[in-house]
Structure 1
């Protein structure tokens, strides 16, 4: 792609994604739906103005790294610990059921290979933290006990999704499953998620000290972006997706970060807030590029629109939703609250799209399967928040999850 073509592509992507994202938000839909739609319009499905390109793909990957960084800053390890067993129960069911339901249909009805069917099911295990949190904030429910379970389970889902993606990524590159290397990879990923945020927090103390000697404007944005790039490179070097590094850097900035030495050091929250706010404009610029690129990668002309395929697509959407809705049923609370938890787990959002994009790039799934998978993710991303908002606004009893 030449420089003039790249500049025009970025102009079209940024402008149309903003317009359609704003439009979707005004009518109560997630902005990500508008951003993907912008890619569908610009890509080969409709206008054909843009095509998948390696340069755009790299820019889109930077966008998802920054988005996962933003999610990491909103993740509370402390909240996960306190909600404990209920979070793990909801998260476990919300991972296993969609994986089994959609994976089996992908294998038997769609005729995918066992690995491709497993990948398809794994792509539908994650839950979008950002979308569910947005709905909870809009309805002023973010401090309720059910909301804590929703947030915690969504975090566990996303972490499990990133680990699953790393394992599948490694298998796709190496072509085999060996117990010891796989175990080593899992332990490496867990260790990275445990220690990278702690190291990042230590670096933040150093950066805070150096900030007193900085003379140039934009110090916070430069040092934070450098830290994100460093952690993303390290994650990739260890065999994991680079986005895991962005997530770990975000955890280092988390408002509820806990460390053994925290009681002996001055609270760095004012400085971490500066770092987070400095990165917000960059995230808002680059993250939509990833979703637009997903839309550009979709080619609706490859989607067979016969009756059987449309029926199969609807079945996949229903199974993807049912697997998450059932996740809230074992909780000890009112049925409405169980449905609220289940509905909040339905939208797949960004992590599911990351799965789909990786599967297409690595050749695990074909372009037609990729298109169908993205449509399923978009459907859950749209229907989940609508159902959740209706339940929250109509909630009249005082039962809470316990």
Structure 2
């Protein structure tokens, strides 16, 4: 791609993503919906101003690595441990039920191959922790019992989702899913997730000491980006997607980080806050590029807009919503809490789109299935927050 085409394309992506993201937020919807819509508008589906290209795809992938870093910064292993059996039950059912129902539905009604149907189902197991937490925060519910179950379940969902994506990525790349290699991959992923954060924390202590010697401005953002790039490369070396590296760096940097060595080493909160603060502008700049690029890659001409096609899309979306909602019904003895947790688990958001885009890049999901999958994810991302908001408003009025 020539430099003039690249800069104009990136300019249009940033402008359209920001404008539609802001509009979506003002209308009460997640900004990610507006960003994907921006990509649809400026992409081949409508205006044809920006076309998919490998250079833009690399920038978009950097955006998703930074997005997973941001999710990792909010991931608390301690919160996960304290969330109890209710959160674990909600999370696991929230993976198993959508995987089976949407996978079988896509196998039967979309006539997909078994592996493509499995990937389709896995993409709809995700829960967007960012979208649900935002709605909870607006209603001062993050510290409630239901809020803690949602947070714990969403953390587990994120980790299980990354593992599923890694296993499917490995299968799509190698073409085989032998039990021994799958078990080995699972062990490698688990080791990477377990041992990377303490190693990252050790690097943080080293870079904090070197910080005193630094004289050139921009040291904090330099440290964060080099760690993200290094561990993204290491994740790829382990046979997993590079996004897992960003997630691991986020967990190592997280204010929720805990380890047995905390009693000997004082937690460098001031320094880690500086590092996280330095990375925020990068996340806010590049992560929308990923969502806009998803919209650019989406070819709406592949959608069946006949009455039968629209009914099928609505039916798959209904299954995607209900399958997650059912998982929340096991959360509590109180019906109001059940409804809050169930509706909070519905939006797939950014994590589902990561799955969809990875499947498209690997050639597992073709253009038609990709368009349907993105539309289902978009609809759950719209419906989930609306149900959650209405449920909490009704709960507060009682």
Per the shorter chain, which TM-score range? over 0.9
Rounded to whole Å, the distance in 2 between the matches of 1:270 and 1:321 is 41
The answer to which of 304-313 and 110-119 deviates more is 304-313
Rounded to whole Å, the distance in 1 between the matches of 2:124 and 2:355 is 9
Rounded to whole Å, the distance in 1 between the matches of 2:102 and 2:188 is 29
Superposed CA offset, 1:342-384 (max 9, x none)? 1101010111101111111111111011000000000001110
SS of equivalent to 1:396: helix
Q: Answer yes or no: is the 8 Å Cα contact 2:353–2:377 preserved in 1.
A: yes
* Aligned-pair CA distance for 1:397: 7.8
* Aligned-pair CA distance for 1:82: 0.6
Partner of 2:148: 148
Partner of 1:196: 196
SS of equivalent to 2:260: coil
* Aligned-pair CA distance for 1:394: 2.0
Q: Please say if 1:177 is aligned against 2:168.
A: no
Runs of at least 5 residues in structure 1 that lack an aligned partner in the other structure = none
Q: Answer yes or no: is the 8 Å Cα contact 2:86–2:332 preserved in 1.
A: no
Rounded to whole Å, the distance in 1 between the matches of 2:360 and 2:169 is 12
SS of equivalent to 1:336: helix
Rounded to whole Å, the distance in 2 between the matches of 1:161 and 1:83 is 18
Partner of 2:125: 125
Matches for 1:3-402 after TM superposition, within 5 Å: 3-396=3-396
Superposed CA offset, 1:34-64 (max 9, x none)? 1000100011110011111100000000000
TM-score, normalised via structure 2 length: 0.99
Q: CA RMSD in A?
A: 1.0
Q: Answer yes or no: is the 8 Å Cα contact 2:87–2:331 preserved in 1.
A: no
* Aligned-pair CA distance for 1:332: 2.8
SS of equivalent to 2:51: coil
Rounded to whole Å, the distance in 1 between the matches of 2:274 and 2:137 is 23
Runs of at least 5 residues in structure 2 that lack an aligned partner in the other structure = none
Rounded to whole Å, the distance in 1 between the matches of 2:396 and 2:17 is 37
Rounded to whole Å, the distance in 1 between the matches of 2:298 and 2:120 is 16
Rounded to whole Å, the distance in 2 between the matches of 1:277 and 1:396 is 34
Rounded to whole Å, the distance in 1 between the matches of 2:42 and 2:329 is 41
TM-score, normalised via structure 1 length: 0.98
* Aligned-pair CA distance for 1:84: 2.3
* Aligned-pair CA distance for 1:179: 0.9
Q: Answer yes or no: is the 8 Å Cα contact 2:324–2:345 preserved in 1.
A: yes
Corresponding pairs, count: 398
